[in-house]
Amino acid sequence: MFLELPVQYKHIAELIQDVFVIASGEGFTVPEYQIQVSDLALINLNLPDNHYELYPDGPDQENIYHSVSDSAEVIVLRYLDHPVCDEGSDDYRFSDHSKPARHAVMIDVFSQALPGKISEQWYSHQINLAGSLISRIEVLQSPDEFKNYHLSWFLVLLMLDFPLVDALILARAAMNVSRETWPKEVHLFPKIDAIDLSSSFFIPETPFPSINQSLLNLYPVMGDSEWIKKLLELGVKTIQLRIKDEHRSDLIKQIREVVSLGQASDSQVFINDYWKIAIDENAFGIHLGQEDLLAADLKSIHAAGLRLGVSTHSYQEILTAELIKPSYIALGHIFPTSTKQMPSKPQGLVRLRLYQQFINSLSDYEKRMIPTVAIGGIDLTNLSNVAAQGVDSIAVVRAITDADDYVDAVTKIQTDFNLSKRVNHVEI
Greater pLDDT, 396 or 139: 396
Between CA 308 and CA 184 the distance in angstroms is: 25
**Contact 150/169 with Cβ under 8 angstroms?**
no
Flag whether 243 is marked binding.
yes
pLDDT confidence tier of residue 254, bands split at 50, 70 and 90 = very high
Would strands 2-6 and 43-46 be described as parallel, antiparallel, or unpaired? Answer: antiparallel
Flag whether 237 is marked binding.
no
Mean pLDDT throughout 139-159? 82
- On the question of pLDDT at 296 being above 70, the answer is yes
Flag whether 292 is marked binding.
yes
Please report, in angstroms and rounded to a whole number, the separation of the first and last CA atoms in the chain.
36
Return mean pLDDT, the chain: 83
Amino acid of residue 15: L
Mean pLDDT throughout 348-359? 98
- On the question of pLDDT at 177 being above 90, the answer is no
Mean pLDDT throughout 199-220? 92
What are the tens digits of pLDDT across the range 46-95? 999 888 888 887 654 444 444 455 567 777 676 655 444 444 444 433 34
- List of long-range contacts for 418-421, beta carbons under 8 Å, 24+ apart: 418/217, 420/383, 420/384, 420/387, 420/388, 421/217, 421/387
User: Is residue 71 classed exposed, middle or buried when 0-12, 13-18 and 19+ CB atoms within 10 A define those classes?
Assistant: exposed
Domains of the chain: 2-197 (no CATH), 213-427 (3.20.20.70)
Between CA 121 and CA 107 the distance in angstroms is: 6
Mean pLDDT throughout 172-200? 79
Element (H, E) at 312: strand 307-312
Please tell me the predicted confidence (pLDDT) of residue 83: 45
Flag whether 311 is marked binding.
yes
Across 41-50, 274-283, 357-366, least confident range? 41-50
What are the tens digits of pLDDT across the range 17-50? 999 999 999 999 999 999 999 998 889 999 998 8
What are the tens digits of pLDDT across the range 233-246? 999 999 999 999 99
- On the question of pLDDT at 333 being above 80, the answer is yes
Flag whether 340 is marked binding.
yes
Flag whether 251 is marked binding.
no
Please tell me the predicted confidence (pLDDT) of residue 356: 98
Flag whether 337 is marked binding.
yes
Between CA 238 and CA 231 the distance in angstroms is: 10
Please tell me the predicted confidence (pLDDT) of residue 14: 97
Please tell me the predicted confidence (pLDDT) of residue 362: 95
Mean pLDDT throughout 179-200? 78
Flag whether 242 is marked binding.
yes
Flag whether 142 is marked binding.
no
Q: What are phi and psi of 40, to 5 degrees?
A: -70, 160
Cβ-Cβ contacts under 8 Å for 290 (sequence gap 6 or more): 310, 311, 312, 313, 317, 320, 321
- On the question of pLDDT at 125 being above 60, the answer is no
> What is the DSSP code (8-state) at residue 209?
P
Please tell me the predicted confidence (pLDDT) of residue 230: 98
Question: For residue 281, which of 305, 303, 260 has the smallest C-alpha distance?
Answer: 260
